[in-house]
A = this chain, B = another copy of it.
Amino acid sequence: MKKSKSRRDRAGVEAGKVTYEELVSRQDRKLRTRDSLMDAALTLMSQGRSFGSLSLREITREAGVVPTAFYRHFRDMDELGLALVEGSGLILRRLLREARKHGVPSTEIIRSSVTIYKKYVEENPRYFLVAARERLTGSPLMRYAIRTEVNHFINEMAQDLRDLRLIPQLSMESLRMICGLVVITMLNAASDILDLPPGQPQAEQELVDNFVRQLTLIFLGAGAWREPSPRPAETS
């Protein structure tokens, strides 16, 4: 963010055009800077770095802003981290909403879901980085926040599965257990997809096939699942 003077100059007022930049309020500009800080963090992370190893100065540099501007938006790096987690949560909820919209295709349900999922991951790679990776390695604060978002996601997914009544004999608790397994498989696959060097269609296909088979196996298991008796044996 340069001074407004020079920004106005560059914006081409002298050419008789009022650019988009001239129309937004101070508040909008502030939000845009905030976004570009979050974006900068995600960019650095997508270059293979963990959030915990990023520095405040690095992020402001990437965002094109002076280091002290950071404090207008976040108290510290932790607060930025939590904002990123919140973004990931939104992305995950949107994923479920889209899945619901597609309804229940009767054939090839898993393969088509995987295709949609893969596309979705590739369109929002950066937030999947946060969810899939920092879930395990972030600061305790960040890990806890992600765990909460992911549990939320698992619960919603379990509720959706229950509503679909595809496997009616399952209790809500079992559905949650199964969705937990599905989610770690999904996040693991997302991480693998994002690690793929581009231009390797064969490796990519193998990865997708493997993912499809793992999900198929899980749902095979779900179909064969019998609820455990409510009280386990005393010996265990």
- A residues near B, CB below 8 A? 48-50, 52-53, 108, 111, 132-134, 136-140, 143, 174, 177-178, 180-181, 184-185, 188, 191, 195, 209-210, 213-214, 216-225, 228, 232, 236
Contact = CB atoms under 8 A, between A and B. Distances in A.
Given A178-B217, A195-B143, A218-B218, A50 B48 contact: no
A151 B231 CA distance: 37
A93 to B, nearest CB: 22
Chain A interface, >50% SS class: helix
B214 A177 contact: yes
A67 to B, nearest CB: 19
Contacts of A195: 143
A167 to B, nearest CB: 12
B177 A213 contact: yes
Nearest to A228: B213
Contacts of A214: 177, 180-181
A177 B50 contact: no
Contacts of A191: 136
B136 A137 contact: yes
A143 B197 CA distance: 14
Contacts of A178: 217
Contacts of A108: 236
A184 B188 contact: yes
25 contacts: A48-B139, A49-B52, A108-B236, A133-B136, A134-B137, A136-B136, A137-B137, A174-B213, A177-B210, A178-B217, A180-B214, A181-B185, A181-B217, A181-B218, A184-B184, A213-B228, A217-B218, A217-B221, A217-B225, A219-B221, A220-B220, A220-B225, A221-B222, A223-B224, A224-B224
Nearest to A217: B221
Contact of A137 (B50, B216, B228): B50
A221 B40 CA distance: 43
A195 B141 CA distance: 12
A232 B217 CA distance: 17
A48 B134 contact: no
Contact of A221 (B138, B139, B218): B218
